[in-house]
Chain A
Amino acid sequence: MAIQLDSITYTYGVGTPFEKQALSGISLSIENGEFLGIIGHTGSGKSTFVQHLNGLLHPTTGTVTVNGVDISAKTEEAKTMRHKVGMVFQYPEHQLFEETIAQDIAFGPKNLGLPDDEVDRRVREAMQFVGLHYDIYAERSPFHLSGGQMRRVAIAGVIAMEPDFLVLDEPSAGLDPFGREEIFEQIIKLHKEKGITVILVSHNMEDISRMATRLIVLDKGQVVLDGEPLTIFKDHRQVLQSVGVDVPPVSVLIESLRERGLPISNDILTVDDAVEAIVEGGQHVK
């Protein structure tokens, strides 16, 4: 169970004066159970890349296989595999259209041709998962919710497809810190409890470093770094800077404290760990 990308390239507008190569030769394997973070500067090809994972874009050259099936094929099997990869776009609340929240979430499962009771079960489960109480929200209009709630409805709509892989493109963009925290908690929960493979695209280094088990850095349509977040932030800072990606503020702080002689370890990624380490390190200095 994995997504395999074999030297894929993608060119926009082939044969027009606006031809632009967005991806150039990416080979990658996304294993089951991974939490993959993707970072890169604006225009590095992140969004183009993730759209290949469920066949919204087909590579100009190269192949994408999900569980060994080439998803650009026109077979039923390929279609099933494409539906195994759920996709949450940027500002997913802009895709809501139904009269009630329950109907909107049911759109995906219904398209899969599932029986009504199964659809209903999935809707209830997805709503519960994103923390929207079925009895209160099911019959409400999605357009009367707050931004954060709308986004949760949209994410529930994708979760109800019960994908094995979930791609999220900047899921926290435009939310306040509280809403962001909620969304990420749910994503972590999906990964841990349901064992869904998560592929997260983000600008926010802290979020990625906190959650991802593996990180790839894209630049000009190529993978420039691939590895554990900690290793990448620790050892490849110069590469990150040269491709226009910021290192998480925590790492920067820890690094400059170390330079000034505070005896703390440099394998810290979260704010909480940093606080602890600094307090401890401070005691040693005294």
Chain B
Amino acid sequence: MLNNITIGQYFPGNSFIHRMDPRAKIIATTIFIIAIFLANTPLAYGIVGAFTVGALLLSRLPLNLLWRSVKPLWIIIVFTMGIHIFTTPGESLFSYGIINITDKGVAMGLQMGARLIFLILFSSLLTYTTSPIRLTDGIEHLLSPFRRIGVPAHELAMMMTIALRFIPTLLDETDRIMKAQSARGADFVTGSLIQRAKNMVPLLVPLFISAFRRADELAIAMEARCYRGGVNRTRMKELTITPIDYIGVGTVILVTVVLIVLWWLHR
């Protein structure tokens, strides 16, 4: 019942994109996502599309995985396209009652749809190719300059890491308790909504107790090892910037510059 939930979407691999440093990937993704919004001509969309497809091919992720990341959001995509198609003023292509479809509307709708799809694909590329632990490491590094203004970068990253670490554990626990209670005749599937909510009590109480117990044990274990925040801590796995990171970020910047120029020319 619970085994179809995937946490973090990491898909292991050893492609160029998998090997990039998480910091480089976060920066490159952020830059490119902003750049997507600069596209305003078919040529610019072509470039964005080609670059996205190129990056996806480079990552060697299976196609159905990418499809799965877009699928849950298709309602939003269709809705956005619809709004633009029906509400943008321009030369009428088709008109019936209050419905009025314009040439500009269709163009806008298609553009917005394409933008959203590129956005989803590119940001899932980041989560598909970076393990959650490396991702939090990267976020911690990128946030560390803000420590001076009081952002607890290390603590935030530590909390994220611990939370991520315990999701599978708690899922296992949930599965186990569900089975134990089902063996005693508990029913989690049928009944009215209120009845089903009530039936969750035998699951939730033990789950909370075990989560608190684990949190307590972890806190004691960390204190016993003299854990304290981020100052002067060294790491077992250092993040290192390699030539591929320069190539990756460099390419994104290059594409972005091209897109800026195109945007400038067609303002």
Contact = CB atoms under 8 A, between A and B. Distances in A.
Q: Do A and B bind each other?
A: yes
Interface of A: 12-13, 17, 51, 54, 56, 83, 86-87, 89, 92, 94-97, 107-108, 111-112, 143, 157-158, 161
A43 to B, nearest CB: 15
Nearest to A105: B184
Contacts of A13: 3
Interface of B: 3, 11-12, 173, 176-177, 179-187, 201-202, 205-206, 209-210
Contacts of A107: 181, 184-186, 202
A54 B205 CA distance: 24
Nearest to B3: A13
A161 B185 contact: yes
Given A12-B3, A143-B209, A95 B180 contact: yes
B185 A83 contact: yes
A94 B184 CA distance: 14
Given A13-B3, A107-B202, A95 B177 contact: yes
Per DSSP, chain B at the interface is helix
A40 B156 CA distance: 42
Contact of A111 (B176, B180, B184): B184
Contacts of B201: 97
A96 B206 contact: yes
A20 B174 CA distance: 21
Q: Which 9 A-B pairs have the closest CB atoms?
A: A111-B185, A97-B205, A108-B184, A87-B183, A95-B180, A56-B179, A89-B180, A97-B202, A97-B206
Nearest to B186: A111
Given A89-B176, A95-B177, A56 B183 contact: yes
A94 B202 contact: no
A89 B179 contact: yes
Contact of A95 (B11, B12, B206): B206
Contacts of A111: 184-187
